[in-house]
Structure 1
Amino acid sequence: MSVHLNQDNVVPELLPDGASRRRLIHEDNVPGTQCRFDVLTLEAGGSMDLQLPRQGVDWAQVLN
């Protein structure tokens, strides 16, 4: 199964400290998926705490 989406069409969720999250792939929009793909954005000087589970695979790519 393929999923086609444009991240600009996903409304960002505003988070504290100058951060926002766009949930691109998750169970609500891709039924049966076992993965989640989010785009996290920080404003200049912003910060975000990440809490990652001990099980599973986590991947982050930092773009400037």
Structure 2
Amino acid sequence: MLGPLPRLYHLLLWVVTLGFCVGAGAWLASWTNVPVVASVGAGAGALIGVLVAYLLAHDFRAEPRTVRIRRH
């Protein structure tokens, strides 16, 4: 969605998105009474974070490609 980004911003986007999603997953899971669920919530948050970061950083526009025609 955000399109091509410089390498530093691309890496920063991944780190912030993953950190936020892992923290949010652990925080939401900690509201339950089961103590193991916080790590499961962090893992689920990491998976969701990877998906969200990919969707944010991937460019879905189909750009025209040059086609080379070889004639013999």
Confirm or deny a common fold (TM above 0.5): no
TM-score (norm 2): 0.25
Bigger Cα Rg:
2
Question: Higher strand share goes to which structure?
Answer: 1
Larger RCO (CA under 8 A, 6+ residues apart): 2
Question: Higher helix share goes to which structure?
Answer: 2
TM-score (norm 1): 0.27
